[in-house]
Amino acid sequence: MSDLTAVPAKLLRTSLRERRNLLSHQQQKHNEEKALLQVQKLLAQENLQTPLNIGLFLSQDGELGTGKVIEYLWSQTEHKVFLPILAEDNHMFFGEYRPETKLQNNRFQIPEPVNETVICAGELDWVLTPLVGFDRCGNRMGMGGGFYDRTFAFKHEQKEESPYLVGWAHACQEVDRLDSQPWDVPLNAIISEKETLWF
């Protein structure tokens, strides 16, 4: 971790993306396997035995891999996996993702489920969210589009606990402090290859 708090947001975002892309294939694989262990411990808790609706994403651009978590949820649990579907108003819905699900690219060339059950964000129990950077106060830096903040804004308005927003990141994406805005929706936790950090 380093102090990048004085760096403008655009440059900080670029720096953190470069940082995760510098990880070797072996480091990426190791981090994904260690982070999966954190998920397994979390889901093994007694109060999480009921099948959950879990929002995920398909990792890219050096992001902490999600493939092993998805495979684990499919093969070892009764939980349902959902992926984001971008709506025209730049909010997101979530489509169920199963092994046989067909995918098609959205306008950002990100694969989305086709012809599957679609639910709104409030129907999810847990969401593993992508991010570029995070701090230990629960602040998250995304790609700058605001899709997650818009989609989960109801957590501000209704003071809803659920769904739990869990950042999914390499530990090297941590910074000392991120500036937050009133519209930012804070994370409930972060999972990295090193730990599960609750806020």
Binding residues: 58, 63, 140-148
Angstrom distances, CA of residue 47 to CA of 43, 44, 51, 113: 8, 8, 11, 29
- Binding residues for ATP are 140-148
- Residue ranges of the annotated binding site for substrate are 58, 63
**DSSP assigned state of 65:** P
- CA-wise closest residue to 83 among 62, 64, 106: 106
For strands 126-129 and 53-55, give the pairing.
parallel
Tokens of 72: 């684990």
| DSSP tally for the chain: helices H, then strands E | 5, 12
Structure tokens at 182: 């009133």
DSSP letters spanning 90-141: S-EEEEE--TT-EEEE-TTS-EEEESS-EE-GGG-SEEEE--SEE-TTS-EE
